[in-house]
A and B are shown apart, each in its own frame.
Chain A
């Protein structure tokens, strides 16, 4: 029972990170109907920037985080303006290949700057020693509290932004019906750029949170690719259109992965992600939280 509780807590913490990546993918999907495969590369790159500042130059954790989020904003905006805008109205697969090209480019660039031979570790913000309950130690540490709180704050801020501000209303309008929004004076192009920038910044946060959970996480390929796939899996489980779905999907994936890792085998994590995804999609082909989509006739 205690083990079960521990695994659940561990899963919640991991799940919140997946939720953050999923949310970034959902934002981009809602705005431009593109699955951003470069997300993994973008958050890898920003995490490397923060790692360089925090671990190699001993700059404050929060300053490094702020710089990484800022870099995420810039990378997201530049990617949208330079690469995504031209293919937006072309065949849908082309956008996939373009984001793939960006992913490979970022991996190569990170390799050129920081080398791809070593796996670096990122010191977490807070202690990773679990709280103790009586004489036993919980698998939940101050750092896990920080992860859950940070992602929850971001989710609430994004919710307020989209539901309570004029800017958010315009962004939703631009995503929902670009033509009509444009006629009503919404600067659709700018808002799409902003959407990508926010998503990339959110990814930057997720990357740094993930990097602190495990030693040797910061590599040019590997863990961040898996993070992208888990984020995407979480987003698909939740229904790509639903921000709430992304968070629930992330938590569900995190918790189930945590159980399976401990109770079955910890070598085939990615296979569980596939099995969970298939199980959910067989019951609800458009994810848990999508409105039943009317297909084109």
Chain B
């Protein structure tokens, strides 16, 4: 690696991001509509999972309720899209997604202030109740006219530029967003902010003695993480063409957590691996495997993908406690014969 790239983290990450976008564009161009429609959910899951791994892995706070922040992003997108018509579809798209990020981040700040007082299972309990409670607000009588009740709000897909089909365009939007999020978070993680996150995670008292305001750092982690989830929510709304409470079940929040633990906690690459695994397990691998088994009972066949998902979650944790990233690290140590971590 050239010396300048070793010295400048920003330059290195930017280069990786550009290469990443290039590779993804090539991939999207060569994939069919069906595969692209699978790539997009992976990409928005990466956005949310990367934000969550920043919170859980780096700042040491747990959230079982990131689906709620995604819901905020999606509803913001849907509500504003109905209000704001623009002659520039791309400007409108970026504006709406950014609005989703901002509103979710503000919401994250509110939750973060409460969360900064809570630790471990108490925080887990509070965020779990949030994940279940917030989407139910859509059915509240006084809000359901604005939020569309249990069916939710309609979202129109952004118009693709001429010559690009709709599936590819959705895939491009999601993948570029995912790369931008990864680029931003990688830089943040290597900066003063990221170091303060880790300092607070490792030892709150020592971090406070070094002059860090522990509560402020913890709230900031929630803000960053909720913002990423808000972006993911906006993207989800574009893909699903709707923002409704049904899109944000408890299982969404929990599978985000599964994704980051799966990939290896705290690492951006891990969040990406984990998202691929979790989304593909949910979508297609388990389905393909079920089809291969040629089960006749509909009850068994319908539940097979879910069962495989559950078994894989448990077995993966038993087999690779530190996730994919941890397993890779161990392989690398074996290969080079070093034992230092």
- Taking CB atoms, residues of chain B closer than 8 Å to A181 are none
Q: Is A35 an interface residue (CB 8 A)?
A: yes
- Identify B303's interface contact among A108, A236, A297, CB under 8 A: A108
Stretch at the interface among B74-82, B128-136, B174-182: B128-136
- Nearest-neighbor residue (CB-CB) of B295 within chain A: A112
- Compute how far the CA of A105 lies from the CA of B317 in the bound complex, rounded to whole angstroms: 14
CA distance A37 to B314 in the complex (A): 13
Q: Verify A232–B128 contact, CB threshold 8 A.
A: yes
Known: A93-B62, A233-B125. A102 touches B133 (CB 8 A): no
> Per-position contact with A for B237-269: 1 when CB-CB < 8 Å, else 0?
000000000000011001001100110010000
27 pairs, A vs B, C-beta closer than 8 Å:
A35-B121, A35-B125, A87-B321, A94-B261, A94-B321, A97-B257, A104-B251, A104-B310, A105-B307, A108-B306, A108-B307, A112-B304, A114-B299, A116-B303, A225-B250, A235-B125, A236-B121, A236-B126, A265-B142, A267-B140, A268-B140, A270-B133, A271-B134, A273-B129, A278-B114, A286-B119, A295-B119
> Measuring CB to CB, which residues of chain A are less than 8 angstroms from any residue of chain B?
29, 35, 37, 83, 86-87, 90-94, 96-98, 100-109, 111-116, 225-226, 229, 232-233, 235-236, 240, 265, 267-275, 277-278, 281-282, 285-287, 295, 297
Does any Cβ of A come within 8 Å of B6's Cβ?
Answer: no
Q: Chain A's nearest CB lies how many Å from the CB of B111?
A: 9
One digit per residue, 1 when the CB lies within 8 angstroms of any chain A CB and 0 when it does not, for chain B 97-111 equals 000000000000000
A residues less than 8 Å from B122 (CB atoms): 236, 240, 281, 285-287
Measured between C-beta atoms, what is the minimum distance from A250 to chain B in Å?
14
Cβ-defined contact, B310 with A108, below 8 A: yes
CA distance A200 to B311 in the complex (A): 20
Q: Is B18 an interface residue (CB 8 A)?
A: no
A93 contacts which chain B residues (CB < 8 A)? 56, 62, 257, 261, 265
Residue B21 interfacial (CB < 8 Å): no
| In the complex, residue of chain A having the shortest beta-carbon distance to the beta carbon of B149 | A267
**Extra pairs beyond A229-B128, A274-B132 (12, CB < 8 Å):** A92-B120, A93-B261, A96-B261, A97-B317, A98-B313, A98-B317, A101-B317, A103-B310, A105-B314, A113-B299, A229-B132, A281-B118
**At the interface, yes or no: B205 with Cβ under 8 Å from chain A?**
yes
B285, CB-defined interface residue at 8 Å: no
Distance in angstroms between the alpha carbons of A106 and B307 in the assembled complex: 8
Cα–Cα, bound, A269→B136 (Å): 8
Given the complex, which residues of A lie within 8 Å of B312, measured CB to CB?
101
A94 to B130, CA, bound (A): 22
With contacts A87-B321, A91-B322 taken as known, whether A97 is within 8 angstroms of B313 at the C-beta atoms is: yes
List, in ascending order, chain B residues with CB within 8 A of A274's CB: 126, 129-130, 132-134
Question: Do A295 and B204 touch across chains, with their CB atoms under 8 A apart?
Answer: yes
Docked CA distance A275–B231 (Å):
26
- For residue A37, which residues in chain B have a CB less than 8 angstroms away from its CB? 254
Beta-carbon contacts under 8 Å, B288-310 to A: 297, 299-300, 302-304, 306-307, 309-310
Interface residues on B, range: 35 or more
Chain B residues, CB < 8 A from A287? 122
| Shortest distance from the beta carbon of A136 to any chain B beta carbon, whole Å | 28
A45 → B minimal CB distance (Å) = 13
Give chain A residues whose Cβ lies under 8 Å from the Cβ of B254: 37, 100
Known contacts A94-B321, A267-B141; is A281 also within 8 Å of B117 by CB? yes
Q: How far is the CA of A106 from the CA of B314 in the complex (A)?
A: 12
Closest 6 CB pairs of A and B: A101-B314, A101-B313, A104-B310, A105-B310, A108-B307, A236-B125
Give a binary string over B299-337; 1 marks a CB under 8 Å from any A CB, 0 the rest.
110111011011111110110011000000000000000
In the assembled complex, which residues on chain A have CB atoms less than 8 Å from the CB atom of B124?
A: 35, 96
Please measure, in the bound complex, the distance between the C-alpha atom of A70 and the C-alpha atom of B254, giving whole angstroms. 29
Q: Nearest Cβ in chain A — how far from B152, in angstroms?
A: 14
- CB contacts (< 8 Å) of A101 on chain B: these are 310-315, 317
CB atoms of A277 and B317 under 8 A apart: no
B137 in the interface, Cβ–Cβ < 8 Å?
yes
Would you call A278 and B126 a contact (CB within 8 A)?
Answer: yes
Pair B321/A90 contact, Cβ less than 8 Å: yes
Check if B321 sits within 8 Å of A270, measured CB to CB: no
> Are A268 and B117 in contact, with the CB atoms below 8 A?
no
CB-CB < 8 A to A269: which residues of B? 136
Q: Which chain A residues border B133 with CB–CB below 8 Å?
A: 268, 270-275
B139 part of interface (Cβ distance < 8 Å): yes
Report chain B residues within 8 Å CB of A277.
125-126, 129
B132→A270 contact, CB < 8 A? yes
> B261 contacts which chain A residues (CB < 8 A)?
93-94, 96-97
Residue of A with least CB distance to B319: A86
A88 to chain B, nearest CB (A): 11
Contacts of A225 in B (CB 8 A): 132, 250
Contact A282–B117 (Cβ < 8 Å)? yes
Q: Which listed residue (A98, A109, A275) contacts B314, Cβ 8 A?
A: A98
B311 to chain A, nearest CB (A): 6
Which among A104, A111, A265, A281 is the interface contact of B126 at CB below 8 angstroms?
A: A281
Contacts of B299 in A (CB 8 A): 111-116
* Shortest Cβ distance from B309 into A: residue: A104
With both beta carbons as reference points, the residue of chain B lying nearest to A233 in the complex is identified as: B129
In Å, the complex CA distance between A226 and B142 comes to: 23
CB-based contact A112/B139 at 8 Å:
no
Chain B residues within 8 Å of A278, by CB: 114, 126
